[in-house]
């Protein structure tokens, strides 16, 4: 927790509560030098469009075609890639966006603001926002983040919410009259998000390094021999197995020989309360990380009588064992609290030396799980024994131990970065509404 206190101290030097005269508006009390505006007064709002019928225009290359799923999959402020494209012929019947443009989702999962990093096209599930001269573009981004829950609350639809352009244009917000103050507010939030994204990129690099070493040792069989030279290319003996040639001393076995899967506890729906000990479910696994914003809790009494094998803590790896998210893997960030694992989620249990090795095999495990599910009459449900019985090449224990000695620091740093991002996100989310309402004012000496 020292890390959190240090960061908060540094952040407090950047802004503070500033006493200023207030005035009454329709929205409530705001600083005297702020004003009430609608989004329609701050930016031009244009809805995307789709060429019809859309399946005639979808292609494997061409103009990147931005889907809501692309926004959900990219856990940053940006759209940097798309999974689909449309052919050039569709250009005249859609809306083209370019790097730097600000877009907001208006259907399915509405209210998500994203900056474009690529040239692309948006369909009618997106709104393009063109800021006018009275508002800073980055400040506008955080305005939408801050107002998202309100906008979704007034969106049309029951199952699928839709933000019509008129709803967005007429929605009232408050902003500083000074562009300089808008920029100073946005910079504080922008810097926090930049640090979060830097940690995310670092974790991608750490995992890529781990994957490269994993491939070199366990696929190419070029782990260091007793002389420190690459095993296979230095003439290391290879023997036949049901999975092909493998190094002498290795064998074909089951995943349970290295680790096992601990299923979560079958809590009853009546066990859940609104606060207490967090329950981690499949929905908490997001983009390879376990989101700790739980919606379900149990009381201390139930926690104390629950077997410790269902406890979750920093660095644990969990995997979804049912449903559409089958095989999805997430890591618990570095935290000080203990949580409980819900049913239909499994915790990877292993000698701590081998946890990162098992984590790096997740793509193969996911493919195997989906194969079992497709062939099963009870599609979408996998047991812990199904996973533990996956046939794998079991390396020599000494090689595994050496791999862990080389790579465990990568995993530890990855978990630390996740923990720092958790703290940064909590700080950002706590100051966002205060900064955007004028309850916290940014000192004049802070420069963009």
Residues 41 and 171 in one domain: yes
In a domain, 226, yes or no: no
Last residue of a domain, one of 379, 394, 409: 394
Same domain, 105 and 131: yes
Does residue 300 sit in the same domain as residue 342? Answer: yes
132 located within any domain: yes
Count of domains observed in the chain: 3
**Beta-carbon contacts of residue 119 (< 8 Å; ≥ 6 apart):** 63, 64, 96, 97, 98, 99
Q: Which CATH number characterizes residue 144's domain?
A: 3.90.220.20
Q: Which alpha helices (H) appear in 219-317, and where do they start and end?
A: 300-305
Q: Read off the CATH number of the domain in which 23 is found.
A: 1.10.287
- 126 with 151, same domain: the answer is yes
The sheet with strand 311-312 has its strands ordered as 297-298, 277-280, 339-341, 311-312
Q: How far apart are CA 257 and CA 255, in angstroms?
A: 5
Residues 116 and 139 in one domain: yes
Residue ranges making up the domain that contains 58:
37-176
Within a domain: residue 428? Answer: yes
Residue finishing a domain among 394, 418, 439: 394
Whether residue 335 is found in the same domain as residue 420: no
Q: CB under 8 Å to 70, separation ≥6 — which residues?
A: 79, 81, 82, 83
What is the reported pLDDT for 343?
Answer: 93
| pLDDT at site 1 | 40
pLDDT average per 10 residues of sequence, the chain (448 residues): 46 51 85 95 96 95 96 93 96 97 91 97 96 98 95 68 86 95 97 98 97 97 96 97 96 94 95 95 92 92 94 95 89 93 95 87 87 66 90 94 95 97 96 94 63
- Rounded to whole angstroms, how far apart are CA atoms 356 and 93? 48
Whether residues 210 and 101 fall in one domain? no
Residue 373's pLDDT is what? 73
Question: What's the pLDDT score for residue 14?
Answer: 53
- Please give the pLDDT value at position 2: 43
Distance CA 108, CA 129 (A): 19
Q: Structure pTM? A: 0.88
351 and 438 inside one domain: no
| Residue 227 DSSP label | T
Same structural domain, 88 and 161: yes
pLDDT at 123: 96
| Cα–Cα nearest to 203, from 331, 347, 346 | 331
Assess if residue 364 is contained within a domain.
yes
């Amino acid at each position: 927790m020292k890390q959190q206190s240090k960061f908060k101290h540094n952040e407090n030097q950047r802004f503070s509560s500033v006493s200023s005269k207030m005035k009454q508006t329709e929205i409530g009390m705001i600083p005297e030098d702020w004003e009430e505006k609608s989004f329609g007064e701050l930016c031009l709002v244009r809805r995307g469009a789709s060429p019809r019928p859309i399946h005639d225009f979808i292609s494997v290359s061409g103009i990147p075609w931005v889907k809501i799923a692309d926004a959900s999959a990219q856990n940053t402020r940006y759209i940097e890639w798309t999974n689909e494209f449309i052919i050039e012929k569709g250009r005249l019947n859609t809306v083209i966006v370019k790097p730097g443009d600000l877009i907001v989702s208006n259907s399915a999962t509405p209210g998500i603001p994203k900056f474009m990093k690529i040239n692309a096209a948006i369909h009618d599930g997106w709104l393009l926002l063109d800021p006018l001269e009275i508002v800073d573009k980055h400040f506008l981004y955080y305005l939408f983040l801050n107002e998202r829950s309100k906008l979704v609350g007034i969106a049309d639809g029951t199952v699928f919410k839709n933000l019509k352009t008129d709803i967005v244009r007429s929605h009232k917000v408050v902003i500083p009259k000074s562009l300089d103050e808008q920029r100073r507010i946005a910079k504080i939030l922008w810097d926090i998000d930049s640090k979060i994204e830097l940690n995310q990129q670092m974790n991608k690099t750490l995992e890529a390094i781990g994957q490269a070493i994993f491939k070199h040792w366990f696929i190419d069989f070029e782990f260091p021999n007793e002389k420190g030279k690459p095993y296979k290319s230095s003439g290391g003996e290879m023997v036949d197995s049901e999975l092909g040639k493998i190094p002498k001393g290795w064998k074909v076995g089951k995943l349970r020989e290295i680790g096992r899967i601990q299923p979560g506890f079958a809590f009853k729906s009546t066990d859940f309360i609104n606060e207490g000990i967090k329950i981690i479910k499949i929905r908490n696994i997001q983009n390879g990380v376990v989101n700790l914003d739980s919606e379900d809790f149990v009381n201390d009494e139930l926690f104390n009588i629950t077997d410790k094998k269902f406890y979750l803590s920093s660095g644990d790896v969990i995997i979804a064992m049912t449903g559409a998210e089958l095989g999805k893997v997430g890591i618990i960030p570095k935290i000080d609290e203990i949580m409980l694992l819900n049913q239909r989620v499994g915790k990877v249990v292993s000698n701590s030396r081998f946890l990162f090795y098992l984590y790096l095999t997740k793509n193969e495990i996911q493919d195997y799980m989906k194969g079992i599910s497709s062939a099963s009459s009870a599609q979408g449900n996998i047991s812990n024994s199904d996973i533990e019985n996956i046939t794998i090449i079991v390396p020599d224990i000494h090689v595994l131990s050496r791999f862990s000695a080389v790579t465990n620091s990568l995993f530890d740093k990855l978990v630390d970065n996740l923990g720092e991002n958790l703290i940064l996100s909590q700080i950002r989310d706590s100051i966002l509404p205060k900064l955007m309402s004028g309850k916290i004012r940014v000192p004049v000496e802070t420069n963009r």
